[in-house]
């Protein structure tokens, strides 16, 4: 009781000083002292409250734990997605239309280029070429993985080379441009067939349709089934020609080259 009376007298004295002499040094010191007391009392009151409620100041609420869990899951998903994006898919393209579309920038002379799922390997047929007969679907489609560049895939390279060859063939036949020879393996059967083609500059060709089918892998290269429709004008006579070919290609010094082609 005496302590309470002393505290009340002190508080009345303090209030008197702050009321009648608010700008005095004593009032400033009293204000500073009260601030220090408040800063000390408030945490103490909180600790006492925690003692009665049984709550640890370092303990997280269920809501806090729930937020942390969501954040951790988001981070894990983000890392997983990034890792997946860095690993190239080794399987060949399942959507042949998208595969063909990815290489259409190499075409300038063919009216229509598209995929044709019916152009496939016939396991009951003897093609007369052991490597072709024993060919298999592509398993690992990754050709090259440059340190600072896009992954190079076998199926894209095969399709791109065939499209570029057929497109540039028209420039070769109609105008004598020899750039098409760069797409052929030097001294191969396909190379000498082109070099010795006798109708360069004597006919006009219009490439109307190129359809690309199955791609299979042999011991050293790749086979691709295609269908071509070419309109040929010679001596003022126009003919519609249709061909079914199996192109054989091999990687040569980092580029895909046509080596030969067979009718089927």
Tens digit of each residue's pLDDT, the chain (264 residues): 544 544 444 554 455 445 455 555 554 554 555 555 445 544 544 554 455 455 454 555 555 555 555 455 555 444 443 444 568 899 999 999 999 999 999 999 999 999 999 999 999 999 999 999 999 999 999 999 988 889 999 999 999 999 999 999 999 999 999 999 999 999 999 999 999 999 999 999 999 999 999 999 999 999 999 999 999 999 999 999 999 999 999 999 999 999 999 999
Q: Cβ(203)–Cβ(233) under 8 Å?
A: yes
pLDDT at 68: 57
DSSP, residue by residue, 33-84: HHHHHHHHHHHHHHHHHHHHHT--TTPPPHHHHHHHHHHHHHHHHHHHHHHH
Domain containing 26 equals 2-85
Q: Is 90 a member of any domain?
A: no
pLDDT at 251: 98
165: exposed, middle or buried (C-beta count within 10 Å: 0-12, 13-18, 19+)?
Answer: buried
pLDDT at 195: 98
Residue whose pair of structure tokens reads 């508080």 in the numeric block: 11
DSSP, residue by residue, 113-164: EEE-TT----TT---S-HHHHT-EE-S--EEE--TTSPPEEHHHHHHHHHHH
Q: What is the DSSP letter of 103?
A: T
pLDDT at 36: 55
Instruction: State whether 139 and 220 are in the same domain.
Output: yes
| CA Rg value for the chain | 41
Instruction: State whether 41 and 145 are in the same domain.
Output: no
Instruction: State whether 64 and 106 are in the same domain.
Output: no
Instruction: State whether 103 and 167 are in the same domain.
Output: yes
- Which one of 85, 113, 129 terminates a domain? 85
| Number of domains comprising the chain | 2
Instruction: State whether 63 and 10 are in the same domain.
Output: yes
Instruction: State whether 156 and 214 are in the same domain.
Output: yes
Instruction: State whether 221 and 158 are in the same domain.
Output: yes
Q: Is 91 a member of any domain?
A: no
Q: Domain holding 198: CATH number?
A: 3.10.450.50
Q: Which two tokens stand for residue 211?
A: 């359809």
- Which one of 51, 66, 85 terminates a domain? 85
Alpha-carbon distance 174 to 109, whole Å?
A: 11
Instruction: State whether 135 and 80 are in the same domain.
Output: no
Q: Give the pTM.
A: 0.69
- Which one of 85, 105, 120 terminates a domain? 85
Instruction: State whether 13 and 71 are in the same domain.
Output: yes
Instruction: State whether 60 and 102 are in the same domain.
Output: no
C-alpha of 89 from chain center: 9
Q: Cβ(161)–Cβ(182) under 8 Å?
A: no
Q: Taking the C-alpha atoms of 252, 256, 258 and 261 in order, what is their torsion angle to the nearest 10 degrees?
A: 120
In terms of phi and psi (left: phi > 0; alpha: psi -120 to 50; beta: otherwise), the region of 201 is left
pLDDT at 111: 98
């Amino acid at each position: 009781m005496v302590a309470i009376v002393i505290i009340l007298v002190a508080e009345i004295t303090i209030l008197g000083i702050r009321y009648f002499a608010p700008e005095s040094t004593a009032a400033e010191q009293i204000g500073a002292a009260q601030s220090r007391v408040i800063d000390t009392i408030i945490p103490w009151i909180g600790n006492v409250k925690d003692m009665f409620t049984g709550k640890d100041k370092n303990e997280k609420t269920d809501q806090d734990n729930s937020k942390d869990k969501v954040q951790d899951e988001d981070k894990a998903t983000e890392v997983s997605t990034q890792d997946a994006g860095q690993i190239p898919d080794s399987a060949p393209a399942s959507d042949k239309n998208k595969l063909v579309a990815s290489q259409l920038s190499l075409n300038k002379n063919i009216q229509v280029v598209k995929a044709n799922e019916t152009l496939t390997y016939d396991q009951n047929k003897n093609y007369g070429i052991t490597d072709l007969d024993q060919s298999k679907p592509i398993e690992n489609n990754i050709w090259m993985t440059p340190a600072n560049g896009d992954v190079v895939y076998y199926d894209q390279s095969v399709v791109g080379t065939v499209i570029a060859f057929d497109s540039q063939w028209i420039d070769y036949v109609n105008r004598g441009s020899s750039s098409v020879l760069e797409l052929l393996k030097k001294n191969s059967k396909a190379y000498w067939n082109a070099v010795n083609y006798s109708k360069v500059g004597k006919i006009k060709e219009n490439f109307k349709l190129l359809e690309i089918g199955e791609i299979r892998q042999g011991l050293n290269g790749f086979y691709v089934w295609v269908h071509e429709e070419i309109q040929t004008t010679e001596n003022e006579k126009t003919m519609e020609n249709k061909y079914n070919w199996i192109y054989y290609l091999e990687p040569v010094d980092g580029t895909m080259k046509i080596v030969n082609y067979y009718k089927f």
